């Protein structure tokens, strides 16, 4: 009898504990975190996006101590092949899940190559204050000292934290927390690759505990006007790179011919564009058919515009790097083609 009462008590306590834990959904998209190599010493030459979400979850049984976990496979790709299609599927699924009362947060496993772009895209189109956290790994799941399991654990810890709401989309990697707008990959292979060059990190995750220090003042998520609801595609925006002896209009012309509605120039220094290329862009702006954003290949800092450039119709990327400026321009073009309105978006988001 005593045994029976004890058993019932244990069951009651564990179901109350399960109830008290947040419900976190992990959406897997592939990347090195799901990569398999032939040797445990290999950290290059492996296939990203090889193992499925269940394998990732089962590799970290400690996740169950943090949250009630469920997983969905959205894609299983190397993130260098990321596409608008996956972005739209991911964003719609996140909004659907976060609308539900029984989902408290989302973790996305993603390749590190384009994580900063996906994170910023979601930061602008997720319409909930609930936490959305991306994570990944620099070493494949099969590697000695693989970084994926700890990163996944930290991402779930962050998504489960009561202070993680209302902070926009975040990246949890290598024990640090970064804001989606600011985070950028800065090293090809090292595990300490992510930085936020303009703002620094938001905080740390130490032994599953979350410590916040900074938040971004730029608007995001439910305070952003962008939505992907009903969208089947996104406006085409391409990036032009500036370099010495550049000055040809070939690339810009080809992009426009292929249907680009926007161009982001990765200029030199504070956004300078080679004079020959600039002449073509000034002519292009007169047609009012293509928006042109000036950003910098430097990777940090504001891009100023002269009064003349504003008159010509150029838009400043503010301090967004070219790949992030591209994301914002794509979304801005879903709303307007007026350079003044687009410039306002670049100031706010
Ligand atoms: N190429 C991989 C990817 O982005 C790299 C990584 O995940 O670290 O999918």
- Topology alike, domains 22-223 and 237-348: yes
Q: Taking 80 as the threshold, does the pLDDT of residue 14 lie above it?
A: no
Q: Which of 47, 74, 112, 194 to mutate to test the pocket of ligand 1 (most atoms within 8 A of CB)?
A: 112
Catalytic residue among 32, 109, 135, 242: 32
pTM (predicted TM-score): 0.94
Q: Pick the closest to residue 178 from 208, 135, 236 (CA basis).
A: 135
Range from 4-8, 31-35, 297-301 carrying the lowest mean pLDDT: 4-8
Q: What is the pLDDT of residue 15?
A: 52
Q: Taking 60 as the threshold, does the pLDDT of residue 235 lie above it?
A: yes
Residue in the block written with tokens 């997720």? 126
Query: Where in the chain are the domains?
Result: 22-223, 237-348
- Across 177-197, average pLDDT: 98
Q: Confidence band (pLDDT; 50, 70, 90) for 220?
A: confident
Is 32 among the residues known to form the active site?
Answer: yes
CA dist 333 to 27, 204, 251, 317, Å?
A: 28, 35, 21, 14
Q: What is the pLDDT of residues 280-294, one digit of tens each?
A: 999 999 999 999 999
Distance between CA atoms of residues 124 and 327, nearest Å: 9
Q: Which residues line ligand 1 (CB under 6 A)?
A: 31-32, 48, 78-80, 111-113, 136, 138
* CATH number of the domain located at residue range(s) 237-348 in this protein: 3.40.50.40
> 305 C-alpha to center of ligand 1: Å?
35
Residue nearest to atom 3 of ligand 1 (CA): 111
> 78 C-alpha to center of ligand 1: Å?
6
Element (H, E) at 74: strand 68-77
CATH class as words, domain 22-223: alpha beta
Q: What is the pLDDT of residues 112-147, one digit of tens each?
A: 999 999 999 999 999 999 999 999 999 999 999 999
């Amino acid at each position: 009898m005593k045994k029976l009462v004890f058993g019932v008590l244990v069951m009651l306590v564990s179901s109350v504990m399960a109830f008290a834990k947040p419900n976190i959904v992990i959406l897997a998209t592939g990347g090195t975190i799901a990569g398999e190599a032939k040797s445990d010493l290999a950290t290059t030459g492996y296939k990203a996006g090889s193992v499925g979400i269940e394998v990732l979850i089962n590799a970290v049984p400690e996740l169950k101590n943090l949250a009630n976990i469920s997983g969905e496979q959205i894609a299983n790709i190397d993130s260098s092949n990321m596409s608008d299609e996956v972005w739209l599927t991911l964003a719609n699924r996140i909004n659907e899940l976060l609308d539900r009362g029984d989902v408290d947060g989302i973790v996305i496993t993603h390749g590190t190559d384009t994580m900063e772009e996906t994170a910023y895209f979601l930061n602008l189109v997720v319409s909930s204050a609930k936490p959305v956290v991306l994570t990944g790994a620099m070493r494949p799941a099969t590697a000695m000292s693989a970084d994926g399991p700890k990163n996944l654990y930290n991402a779930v810890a962050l998504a489960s934290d009561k202070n993680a709401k209302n902070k926009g989309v975040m990246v949890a990697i290598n024990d640090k927390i970064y804001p989606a707008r600011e985070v950028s990959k800065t090293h090809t292979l090292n595990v300490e690759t992510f930085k936020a060059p303009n703002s620094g990190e938001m905080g740390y995750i130490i032994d599953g505990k979350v410590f916040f220090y900074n938040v971004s003042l730029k608007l995001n998520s439910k305070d952003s006007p962008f939505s992907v609801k009903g969208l089947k595609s996104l406006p085409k925006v391409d990036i032009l790179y500036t370099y010495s002896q550049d000055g040809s209009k070939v690339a810009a012309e080809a992009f426009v011919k292929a249907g680009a509605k926007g161009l982001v120039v990765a200029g030199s220094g504070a956004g300078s564009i080679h004079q020959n290329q600039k002449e073509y862009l000034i002519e292009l702006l007169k047609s009012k058919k293509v928006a042109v954003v000036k950003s910098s290949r430097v990777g940090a800092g504001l891009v100023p515009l002269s009064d003349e450039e504003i008159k010509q119709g150029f838009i400043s990327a503010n301090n967004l790097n070219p790949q992030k400026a591209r994301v914002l321009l794509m979304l801005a073009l879903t709303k307007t083609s007026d350079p003044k309105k687009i410039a306002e978006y670049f100031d706010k988001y």
